Amino acid sequence: MDPIVIVLIVIAAIAVFLIAGFNRLVTLRQRVKEAWSDIDVQLKRRHDLIPNLVETVKGYAAHESATFQAVTNARAAAVAAGASASPQERAQAENMLTGTLRSLFAVAENYPQLQAIQEFKDLSENLTATEDKIAFARRFYNGNVRDYNTALMTFPTNLYASLLGFKPEQFFELADPTEREVPQVKFTTP
């Protein structure tokens, strides 16, 4: 066979290979975006629930204003982060919000009448359900990020991916309230 033909065939094969790799990256990146919008919807729902919750608790525990202020501020920060920030920054804001919510529920614990009213029960149940959904949406998102990042970093895609503008995506890491804290190890010198 003519050597030129062979060279052409090899070039064509390489081109097909590169195009397939490129298309795969585009598909994977698209999946990451879709998964992210699932998280986004649930985070917004959580933000929407909080003002009502704060108002309800306020009706019974008006003097705990520091706690309410902390929740309201953290919520505002989380909403602001939702407008533009990266997954990492959003996760930070959400973690702050989770922390303040925990102290809000700790406050609510001290008011048995509050615990008894239906509205409070519904709100806290809704909030728990939403947080469950965030946890699952996050898992799906992180799975897709991992697949995309792996494709990005493996040979031979890693050779040309960055040239074409593909960047690794960030994981969305939330503090899991059930996770055990890392034990603090201190070495004291005698």
Residues at the site binding other proteins, with contacts judged by CB under 8 A: 31, 34-35, 38, 42, 129, 132-133, 136-137, 139-140, 143-144, 147
**With contact defined as beta carbons under 8 Å apart, do 40 and 118 qualify?**
no
Beta carbon of residue 2, minimum distance to other proteins (angstroms, whole number): 38
Beta carbon of residue 27, minimum distance to other proteins (angstroms, whole number): 8
The span from the CA of 78 to the CA of 123, in Å, is 19
**With contact defined as beta carbons under 8 Å apart, do 105 and 177 qualify?**
no
Nearer to other proteins, 66 or 129 (CB): 129
Nearer to other proteins, 68 or 148 (CB): 148
Here the tokens at position 139 are 């898992």
Please give the angle made by the CA atoms of 188, 189 and 190, to the nearest 5 degrees. 110
Here the tokens at position 188 are 């004291």
Nearer to other proteins, 100 or 130 (CB): 130
Beta carbon of residue 140, minimum distance to other proteins (angstroms, whole number): 4
Nearer to other proteins, 35 or 96 (CB): 35
Beta carbon of residue 115, minimum distance to other proteins (angstroms, whole number): 19
The span from the CA of 77 to the CA of 24, in Å, is 36
Nearer to other proteins, 82 or 103 (CB): 82
**With contact defined as beta carbons under 8 Å apart, do 21 and 157 qualify?**
yes
Task: Output DSSP code: residue 155.
Answer: T
Beta carbon of residue 63, minimum distance to other proteins (angstroms, whole number): 34
